[in-house]
């Protein structure tokens, strides 16, 4: 019989065989969890004590789809594997390059030229043999799948891809009802976008004298219920259940800042210039299907886009300074391990909280500015069509037909429509969805005779 782990021996016998000192505190209770084996309880002991056995059981049954295994994807894969998820499927068949060896510590010299995910999986597996880790092929194969391909997964994560690709994957995951994360890093800068569709979570806090109101807290968050429990120390803990409602990237990218920021000049001046720069980068990628080069033409175009995005966000002129623009442009496309570690750790932490249904999740854009050591989160939200229709019905207004909402609704003043309404007997045209091509198997993604249209590259001019 194998000896128990060293920390378990110390917990039971103390150091040098003496009983452990408790300083008058009660002895630690034994953890029990019907869905976890004794070995798993011992392995994940610290995590269970942090977020509870029930949350660990949910994590243990989670299936994660990770798209891209560069520096950022490497950190996410490491953290989720160590957390004890059930399975991790990695989509990345790009050949390993010499540059990858400096950013992905799961790769070796002998892997150069081989598929990235398949080469790294054996070493990722060593972190936690209990997790099933497989390769999901390449991106082109994934983009040819309809929403049913995403149904088996608990969470979908896409890293380091352009706006069009992220929007396609986000749309598919949303149709499947699956939480979606997009993330990228550029040198000392990074960002995380979250679309959890609709997510309920629990907050535990010491009960205050002010009763909790079961009402909306923000434009996206509402309090559903509130209960209490008495603790052994005599204090009362309040257990509050809340719900966050999300919108897809395609809407969030054209959404304004929340009213509490727009109405407060001090908060507006504090908005990070990284936000308009990231929106400008999305726009540049949509127009060119690439990252900006250090040519005078690209620099001029990007500066113009960033200035326009800053105005659209109603930011003061002094927010976007030439020094920041220069720094951001110099960082585009670079992979710095420390940035990857921070952003990847932040994303993995949020995924774990979402799986465990505990704590406030990201809503919905989290930024990282390593130059100024800032990590603000902005709620850039516009109600998706199904939420807008439900709200209209709840207010006694006539609910718009689905094709009218999907086809003609302008996106929060952005001047972009989601496609033309369908004529009777014809499929709805989704080609106007900010340049995102129609998707196989989606409602309206056909050619009028019921046959699906295969995804194809489409660039906005």
CATH label of the domain that carries residue 188: 3.40.50.720
Torsion angles phi and psi, residue 186, rounded to 5: -140, 95
Establish if 461 belongs to a structural domain. no
Q: Is residue 23 over pLDDT 60?
A: no
As a whole-number percent, the residues of the chain with pLDDT over 70 amount to 76
Q: Supply the pLDDT for residue 9.
A: 37
Establish if 430 belongs to a structural domain. no
Instruction: Examine the fold and report which residue of 245, 261, 281 is the final residue of a domain before the chain moves on.
Output: 245
Kindly list the distances between the CA atom of residue 432 and the CA atoms of 173, 209, 415, in Å, as whole numbers in the listed order: 19, 52, 12
Task: DSSP letter for 446, please.
Answer: B
238 and 345 belong to one structural domain: no
Q: Supply the pLDDT for residue 459.
A: 33
In whole angstroms, give the CA distance from residue 375 to residue 366. 7
Structure tokens at 25: 């505190």
236 and 282 belong to one structural domain: no
Strands of 33-179, DSSP E: 63-67, 87-91, 132-135, 155-159
37-61 confidence digits (pLDDT tens): 787 777 778 778 777 777 889 999 9
Establish if 456 belongs to a structural domain. no
350 and 374 belong to one structural domain: yes
DSSP 3-state assignment of 316? coil
Instruction: Examine the fold and report which residue of 331, 366, 393 is the final residue of a domain before the chain moves on.
Output: 331
Instruction: Examine the fold and report which residue of 331, 361, 391 is the final residue of a domain before the chain moves on.
Output: 331
61 and 121 belong to one structural domain: yes
69 and 166 belong to one structural domain: yes
63 and 177 belong to one structural domain: yes
Residues 6 or more apart whose Cβ sits within 8 Å of residue 393 = 399
Cα 295 versus chain centre, distance? 32
Sign of CA pseudo-dihedral 41, 43, 46, 52: negative
Q: Which residue has the higher pLDDT, 23 or 403?
A: 23
| Structural domain for 241, as ranges | 198-245
98 and 218 belong to one structural domain: no
Find the range with the poorest average confidence among 11-15, 95-99, 278-282: 11-15
191 and 63 belong to one structural domain: yes
309-328 confidence digits (pLDDT tens): 999 999 999 999 999 999 99
Find the range with the poorest average confidence among 65-79, 195-209, 423-437: 423-437
Q: Which residue has the higher pLDDT, 303 or 426?
A: 303
Burial of 397 (0-12, 13-18, 19+ CB in 10 A): exposed
Average pLDDT over residues 148-164: 97
Is the distance from CB of 273 to CB of 324 less than 8 angstroms? Answer: yes
Q: Is residue 244 over pLDDT 90?
A: yes
Full-model pTM:
0.78
Torsion angles phi and psi, residue 13, rounded to 5: -110, -15
Q: Supply the pLDDT for residue 42.
A: 78
Q: Supply the pLDDT for residue 345.
A: 97
Number of domains, the chain: 3
Q: Supply the pLDDT for residue 450.
A: 36
Q: Is residue 4 over pLDDT 60?
A: no
Q: Supply the pLDDT for residue 31.
A: 63
Q: Is residue 229 over pLDDT 70?
A: yes
289 and 355 belong to one structural domain: no
Establish if 22 belongs to a structural domain. no
Task: DSSP letter for 219, please.
Answer: S
- Return the ∠ at Cα 460 (arms to 262 and 427), rounded to 5°: 100
Q: Supply the pLDDT for residue 33.
A: 61
Is the distance from CB of 262 to CB of 314 less than 8 angstroms? Answer: yes
Establish if 293 belongs to a structural domain. yes
Establish if 154 belongs to a structural domain. yes
The end-to-end CA distance of the chain, in Å, is 68
Q: Which residue has the higher pLDDT, 448 or 204?
A: 204
53-111 confidence digits (pLDDT tens): 778 899 999 999 999 999 999 999 999 999 999 999 999 999 999 999 988 999 999 99
321-377 confidence digits (pLDDT tens): 999 999 999 999 999 999 999 999 999 999 999 999 989 999 999 999 999 999 999
Establish if 132 belongs to a structural domain. yes
Q: Supply the pLDDT for residue 400.
A: 37
Q: Which of 124, 129, 137 is nearest to 74 (CA)?
A: 124
As a whole-number percent, the residues of the chain with pLDDT over 90 amount to 65
Residues 6 or more apart whose Cβ sits within 8 Å of residue 154 = 61, 62, 63, 64, 178, 179, 355
Provide the pairing of β-strand 155-159 with 180-186: parallel
182 and 68 belong to one structural domain: yes
Inter-residue long-range contacts of 328-333, CB under 8 Å, 24+ positions, other chains counted: 328/186, 328/189, 328/274, 328/277, 329/292, 329/294, 329/299, 329/302, 330/187, 331/186, 331/187, 331/188, 331/189, 332/186, 332/187, 332/281, 332/291, 332/292, 333/186, 333/291
Establish if 424 belongs to a structural domain. no
Looking at every residue in the chain, the average pLDDT score rounds to: 82
Q: Supply the pLDDT for residue 29.
A: 56
62 and 147 belong to one structural domain: yes
161 and 68 belong to one structural domain: yes
């Amino acid at each position: 019989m194998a000896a128990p782990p060293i920390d378990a021996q110390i917990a039971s016998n103390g150091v040098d065989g003496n009983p452990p000192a408790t300083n008058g505190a009660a002895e630690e209770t034994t953890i029990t969890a019907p869905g976890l084996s004794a070995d798993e309880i011992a392995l994940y002991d610290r995590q269970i004590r942090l977020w509870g056995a029930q949350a660990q059981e949910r994590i243990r049954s989670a299936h994660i789809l990770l798209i891209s295994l560069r520096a950022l994807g490497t950190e996410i894969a490491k953290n989720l594997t160590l957390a004890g998820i059930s399975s991790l499927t990695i989509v990345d068949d790009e050949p390993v390059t010499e540059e990858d060896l400096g950013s992905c510590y799961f790769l070796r010299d002998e892997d150069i030229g081989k598929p990235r995910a398949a080469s790294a999986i054996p070493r990722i597996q060593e972190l936690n043999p209990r997790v099933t880790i497989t390769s999901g092929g390449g991106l082109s194969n994934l983009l040819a799948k309809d929403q049913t391909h995403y149904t088996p997964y608990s969470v979908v994560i896409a890293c380091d891809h352009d706006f069009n690709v992220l929007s396609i994957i986000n749309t598919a995951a949303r149709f499947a009802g699956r939480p979606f994360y997009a993330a990228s890093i550029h040198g000392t800068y990074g960002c995380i976008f979250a679309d959890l569709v609709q997510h309920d979570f629990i907050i535990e806090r010491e009960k205050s004298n002010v009763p909790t109101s079961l009402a909306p807290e923000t434009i996206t968050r509402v309090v559903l219920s509130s209960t209490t429990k008495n603790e052994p120390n005599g204090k009362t803990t309040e257990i509050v259940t809340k719900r966050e409602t999300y919108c897809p990237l395609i809407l969030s990218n054209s959404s304004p800042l929340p009213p509490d920021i727009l109405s407060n000049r001090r908060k507006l001046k504090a908005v990070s210039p990284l936000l308009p720069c990231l929106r400008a980068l999305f726009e540049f990628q949509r127009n060119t299907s690439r990252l900006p080069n250090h040519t005078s033409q690209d620099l001029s175009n990007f500066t113009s886009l960033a200035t326009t995005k800053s105005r659209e966000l109603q930011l003061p002129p002094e927010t976007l300074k030439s020094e920041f623009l220069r720094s951001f442009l110099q960082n585009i496309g670079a992979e710095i391990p420390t940035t990857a570690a921070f952003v990847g750790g932040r994303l993995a932490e949020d995924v774990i909280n979402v799986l465990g249904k505990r704590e406030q999740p990201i809503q919905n854009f989290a930024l990282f500015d390593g130059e100024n050591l800032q990590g603000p989160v902005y709620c850039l939200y516009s109600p998706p069509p199904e939420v807008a229709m439900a709200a209209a019905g709840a207010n006694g207004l006539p609910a718009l037909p689905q094709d009218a909402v999907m086809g003609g609704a302008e996106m929060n003043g952005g001047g972009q429509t989601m496609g033309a309404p369908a004529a009777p007997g014809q499929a709805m045209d989704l080609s106007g969805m900010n340049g995102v091509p129609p998707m196989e198997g989606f409602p309206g993604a056909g050619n009028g005779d019921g046959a699906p249209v295969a995804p194809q590259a489409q660039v906005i001019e």
